Structure 1
Amino acid sequence: LDVPYVISEFAPNTFTNGLYSGMIGDFSYYWIAEAVNLEIQRLVELYAESNQVGFIGRQEADAMPVLAEAFVRIKCATS
């Protein structure tokens, strides 16, 4: 169909009758909203003995489709 695709490790690797095995969607209708700016904390003292520096990153975000018709789930079925 000449549609770009992505393979995910989170998709099922077995095909069982009645379970969803994939999806086709137009991700221009999938919006991601960031609630808070990205915050990075530097942990100097925690790793000082091993001469390393640690980092913790925090960000609040959410996402959802804004047009349900742009996404279709593919369900396995036996004939």
Structure 2
Amino acid sequence: MEATSIDQLSFEAALAELETIVRTLEVGSEPLDNSIELYQRGDRLKRHCEARLKAAQERIEQISIGTDGQPAGTVPFDVD
């Protein structure tokens, strides 16, 4: 499974691979060493997906800051 660098995966591809890893680990048929490697890759995939989601959210909305310097809400992302 490690053939593709996680950084090169789209969100959808990373999520699909993560789901496959979870199903494999749930079955419990893999040897311990392989299960550990799968778990580690799954953790990296999870972090990659979270980062991609966060980046997408930041592109969609921006935090507006009030006059007191505290977050006052969000505003839609302005493409222009």
User: If the length of structure 2 is used for normalisation, what is the TM-score?
Assistant: 0.24
Select the structure that is richer in strand: 1
Higher RCO (Cα < 8 Å, 6 or more apart) = 1
Structure with larger Rg: 1
Structure 1 length normalisation: TM-score? 0.24
Higher helix share: 2
